[in-house]
Chain A
């Protein structure tokens, strides 16, 4: 895939502005801090842009298409991360430890690109699941293989698909490694 220079420059400028704004917010706009932060803003922006264009399928846009669906995803995520924290807290204090851990393959239906990364990041903060993307597959470590983690993952995947306007009909059909029982 060839990357056009204007696209690269646009992406780099967006990131420079965003990271500079973040640094400015975090340091209350102090001048001394700006001097210290500048190299990090620059290197973060360059690294982020290079990663964005390196071997990625640019099918899905990075920017959410539906604000309402995004709000629903955030609500869903906040509620489940609260549940996730409570769940692991209760497990940590029990004796004996209530664990039936397992490492399973989740048949991801989202198309390649930024959405599986978002999915993996959110999955790790949901109750009892920890995600790893390995060789294009989403592998999930579950604390209790008998819990209803599979339903939660499916709902999360649907909500991410909704945010990015990804039609259920266009989803990848990869049922060949669905050993999730």
Chain B
């Protein structure tokens, strides 16, 4: 396979993955707006956004100039995943205890 065709295929893969990622971010937001209670909204935010970010990260990987950049992308995804899970846990914990103010 010659160089331009290979580049075209990589760009196509990146575009598809990025569109998929954007779709999951939209789904997370729709879920946040439509779902009825705090817990269900947290489900939508954590899971859909995490998957969306994962796909966008995968979309950027073929465009990475070097290995360092690719590792940084992976690291960002893992860090955001940890932060998302921890944040969701803290919010849900306050809701379970019922000591939050105006939680719904």
Interface of A toward B, CB cutoff 8 Å = 22, 25-26, 28, 81-82, 84-89, 91-93, 97, 99, 101, 103, 120-122, 124-125, 127-128, 130-134, 139, 141, 143
Q: Which residues of A contact B79 (CB under 8 A)?
A: 22
List 15 additional A-B contacts (Cβ < 8 Å) besides A81-B50, A91-B44.
A25-B71, A26-B76, A85-B27, A93-B27, A97-B35, A122-B85, A124-B46, A124-B47, A125-B47, A125-B81, A130-B43, A131-B92, A133-B89, A141-B42, A143-B40
Neighbour of A101 across the interface among B39, B48, B72, CB < 8 A: B39
Q: Is the CB of B30 within 8 A of A93?
A: yes
Q: Is the CB of B97 within 8 A of A134?
A: yes
Nearest chain B residue, comparing its CB with the CB of A82: B51
Q: Is the CB of B96 within 8 A of A132?
A: yes
Q: Which residues of B contact A86 (CB under 8 A)?
A: 51
B 65-104 binary contact with A (CB < 8 Å = 1; else 0): 0001001100110010110111011001101110000000
Neighbour of A103 across the interface among B39, B51, B82, B85, CB < 8 A: B39
A54 CB to closest chain B CB (Å) equals: 17
Q: Is the CB of B47 within 8 A of A85?
A: yes
A31 CB to closest chain B CB (Å) equals: 17
Q: Is the CB of A87 within 8 A of B47?
A: yes
